[in-house]
């Protein structure tokens, strides 16, 4: 991919990103939390639960890109303040989505990592804006995008001067209707062949089915993903969005108890030599 002047594996060794002492790209990053910030209690309770289960970061939406304009749009600035409270309580860094270029500097005041959602992957003015800010960016794959299009979007952010981009595979649209999307696990080794940027996997939105989240999480870790981003809600039945695909804190803890030994086992195996070395 000749257009990748900065994102290509040919130009740079693998990127690692330090966030509050946790190194993305070197350690397994598990980002967990509710789809949206609904209240301080819901967010802080969930944050404490996911931290106890072993999550390394907290996710939570304050600005929600919703399919319908009549759906809950998020708490906005109030949501950011709630996330800051949850961080003060747990120490977990905050990952939250930004959907409007005018919000970038304000979201960056509160968040540790800015997320660009699948619907905004090719919103180039938004990409340029996050490229100018000092926070790492989690760039989700567009649901209709090829790897090349996706990596070119990362290139947009890098070219504005922000070197800290994390890619996130979240499933693509196929003719399959049983799952919400089709999780493209092959994207993990493929991206690692093409780019130095870390890549994590979202098993929640890609499958849209509670029963598939755990197996796909384990498969992602086995495929050498740098991390996972998983929706967890302290009371999924009451959730204001994505109620039927959020794990309970108990289900999440159970999943973590399976991921940890798998990761340890993989780390003990002889590493496949990196082609750059």
Residues that bind other proteins in the complex, under the rule CB under 8 A: 76-78, 88, 100, 102-103, 105-106, 108-110
Q: With respect to other proteins, which residue has the nearer C-beta, 118 or 162?
A: 162
Q: How many CB atoms lie within 10 A of CB 272?
A: 8
- Nearest-approach distance from CB 243 to other proteins, in angstroms: 26
- Nearest-approach distance from CB 16 to other proteins, in angstroms: 25
> Exposed (0-12), middle (13-18) or buried (19+): which is 40, by Cβ within 10 Å?
middle
SS (H, E, C) 149-215: HHHHHHHHHHHCCCCCEEEEECCECCCCCCCCCECCCCHHHHHHHHECCCEEECHHHHHCCHHHHHH
What is the spatial distance between Cα 120 and Cα 122, in angstroms, rounded to a whole number?
A: 5
Q: With respect to other proteins, which residue has the nearer C-beta, 84 or 253?
A: 84
- Nearest-approach distance from CB 110 to other proteins, in angstroms: 8
- Nearest-approach distance from CB 59 to other proteins, in angstroms: 21
- Nearest-approach distance from CB 154 to other proteins, in angstroms: 23
Q: How many CB atoms lie within 10 A of CB 238?
A: 10
What is the spatial distance between Cα 277 and Cα 268, in angstroms, rounded to a whole number?
A: 20
Cα angle for residues 200, 201, 205 (degrees, 5° grid): 145
Q: With respect to other proteins, which residue has the nearer C-beta, 118 or 120?
A: 120
Q: With respect to other proteins, which residue has the nearer C-beta, 40 or 100?
A: 100
CB 20 within 8 A of CB 112: yes
Taken as a whole, the chain contains a residue count of 277
Looking from the CA of 135 toward its CB, the CA atoms found within 13 Å total 25
Three-state DSSP state, 268: helix
- Nearest-approach distance from CB 137 to other proteins, in angstroms: 16
Q: With respect to other proteins, which residue has the nearer C-beta, 120 or 204?
A: 120
- Nearest-approach distance from CB 102 to other proteins, in angstroms: 5
- Nearest-approach distance from CB 88 to other proteins, in angstroms: 7
Q: How many CB atoms lie within 10 A of CB 269?
A: 7
Q: With respect to other proteins, which residue has the nearer C-beta, 101 or 189?
A: 101
Q: With respect to other proteins, which residue has the nearer C-beta, 72 or 106?
A: 106
H/E run at residue 39: none
Q: With respect to other proteins, which residue has the nearer C-beta, 105 or 159?
A: 105
């Amino acid at each position: 991919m000749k257009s990748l002047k900065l994102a290509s594996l040919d130009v740079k060794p693998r990127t690692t990103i330090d966030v509050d002492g946790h190194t993305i790209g070197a350690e397994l990053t598990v980002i967990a939390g509710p789809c949206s910030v609904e209240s301080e209690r819901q967010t802080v309770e969930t944050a404490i639960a996911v931290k106890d289960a072993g999550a390394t970061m907290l996710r939570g939406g304050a600005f929600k890109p919703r399919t319908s304009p009549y759906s809950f749009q998020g708490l906005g600035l109030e949501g950011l303040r709630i996330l800051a409270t949850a961080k003060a309580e747990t120490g977990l860094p905050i990952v939250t989505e930004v959907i409007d270029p005018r919000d970038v500097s304000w979201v960056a005041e509160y968040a540790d990592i800015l997320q660009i959602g699948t619907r905004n992957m090719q919103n180039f003015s938004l990409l340029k804006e996050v490229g100018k800010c000092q926070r790492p960016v989690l760039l989700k794959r567009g649901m209709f995008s090829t790897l090349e299009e996706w990596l070119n979007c990362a290139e947009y952010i890098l070219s504005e001067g922000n070197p800290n981009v994390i890619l996130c595979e979240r499933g693509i649209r196929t003719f399959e209707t049983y799952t919400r999307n089709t999780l493209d696990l092959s994207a993990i080794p493929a991206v690692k062949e093409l780019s130095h940027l870390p890549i994590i996997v979202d098993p929640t939105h890609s499958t849209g089915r509670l029963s598939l989240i755990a197996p796909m999480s384990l498969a992602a870790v086995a495929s050498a993903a740098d991390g996972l981003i998983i929706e967890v809600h302290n009371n999924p039945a009451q959730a204001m969005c994505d109620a039927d695909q959020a794990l309970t804190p108990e289900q999440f803890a159970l999943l973590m108890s399976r991921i940890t030994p798998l990761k340890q086992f993989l780390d003990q195996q002889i590493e496949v030599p990196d082609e750059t070395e």
